[in-house]
């Protein structure tokens, strides 16, 4: 079956929406990218918007839409955002609707990699129509080690991220599924299974071999 035949056949059923949260530094990006390659269904990570500056190596429109505060507030005023939050008390982050609805209608599943505040908004807007997953870290000490190894934050930002992480970890129980990121292969395997199961439950047939 060609890809377009596949999408036409399945577009009657809205493709699933996944929300993945977890503390900063737990490894969400790596795990999601590998899971997207491993799942047997069409799945895309939504490119979300942020007002924080790009880190070295981050690509605009691929890793994030890097927006000015004015642009972000305009998008909010026009009702273009599915959810948004001020993360770490300073920067806006949010999901443009255009990154979600058109893909789901075309049979492509969407995964949002967002913070716990955003996840709560999605829960309120799409009750029963999304699968929420919390990526857990073995300990706060391990999280600090990973954040320091990443080397992207100065001490003040690192302290703020650790402080937020502690509060985020206390909210893991709000999520339908919890996946422990003790090792990347374990976490990828568990997340891939959850995603494959959700597509299957919606009657989707696998289109790719893993
Ligand atoms: P970072 O600055 O490390 O890229 O992201 C900081 C935090 O913001 C992460 O927990 C990330 O998942 C979250 N985040 C990224 N995009 C969004 C978004 O669109 N909405 C919300 N609520 N959080 C986001």
Is pTM beyond 0.85? Reply is yes
Within the chain, where are the H helices? 3-10, 28-38, 69-77, 101-105, 116-125, 140-150, 155-169, 184-201
Would the CB of 118 count as within 6 Å of ligand 1? Answer: yes
Q: Whose CA is nearest to atom 5 of ligand 1?
A: 24
Q: Whose CA is nearest to atom 11 of ligand 1?
A: 114
Q: Whose CA is nearest to atom 3 of ligand 1?
A: 24
What pLDDT is stored for residue 90 in this prediction?
84
What average pLDDT does range 12-19 have in this prediction? 89
pLDDT at 7 over 90: no
pLDDT digits (tens, 9 = 90+) for 129-175: 999 999 999 999 999 999 999 888 899 989 999 999 999 999 999 99
User: No. of H helices and E strands in the chain?
Assistant: 8, 9
The atom of ligand 1 lying closest to the CA of 95 is: 19
What are the start and end residues of each CATH 3.40.50.300 domain in the chain?
1-46+107-210
Would the CB of 137 count as within 6 Å of ligand 1? Answer: no
What pLDDT is stored for residue 152 in this prediction?
84
* Closest to 26 measured CA to CA, from 113, 132, 155: 113
Bridge-partner residues for 49, per DSSP? 65, 94
CATH superfamily of 1-46+107-210: P-loop containing nucleotide triphosphate hydrolases (3.40.50.300)
What are the start and end residues of each CATH 3.30.63.10 domain in the chain?
47-99
Distance CA 162, CA 8 (A): 45
Contact 152/143 with Cβ under 8 angstroms? no
Whole-angstrom CA distances from 92 to 14, 75, 114, 118 are 29, 12, 12, 11
* Average pLDDT value over all residues in the chain: 92
Would the CB of 181 count as within 6 Å of ligand 1? Answer: no
Say what percent of the chain tops pLDDT 70: 93
pLDDT digits (tens, 9 = 90+) for 63-79: 999 999 999 999 999 99
Would the CB of 192 count as within 6 Å of ligand 1? Answer: no
- Domain 47-99, CATH number (from 3.30.450.20, 3.30.63.10, 3.20.20.140, 1.10.10.10): 3.30.63.10
């Amino acid at each position: 079956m060609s890809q377009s035949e596949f999408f036409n056949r399945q577009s009657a059923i809205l493709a699933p929406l996944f929300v993945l949260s977890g503390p900063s530094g737990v490894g969400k990006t790596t795990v999601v990218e590998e899971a997207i390659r491993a799942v047997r269904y069409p799945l895309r990570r939504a490119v979300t918007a942020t007002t924080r500056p790009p880190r070295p190596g981050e690509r605009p429109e691929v890793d994030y839409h890097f927006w000015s505060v004015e642009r972000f507030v305009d998008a909010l005023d026009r009702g273009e955002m599915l959810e948004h939050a001020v993360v770490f008390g300073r920067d806006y982050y949010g999901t443009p609707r255009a990154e979600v609805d058109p893909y789901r209608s075309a049979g492509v599943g969407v995964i949002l990699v967002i913070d716990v505040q955003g996840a709560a908004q999605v829960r309120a807007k799409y009750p029963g129509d999304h699968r929420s997953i919390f990526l857990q870290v073995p300990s706060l000490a391990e999280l600090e080690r990973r954040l320091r190894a990443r080397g992207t934050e100065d001490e003040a930002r690192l302290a703020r991220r650790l402080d937020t992480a502690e509060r985020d970890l206390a909210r893991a129980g709000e999520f339908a599924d919890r996946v422990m990121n003790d090792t990347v292969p374990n976490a990828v395997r568990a997340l891939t299974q959850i995603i494959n199961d959700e597509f299957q439950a919606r009657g989707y047939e696998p289109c790719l071999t893993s």
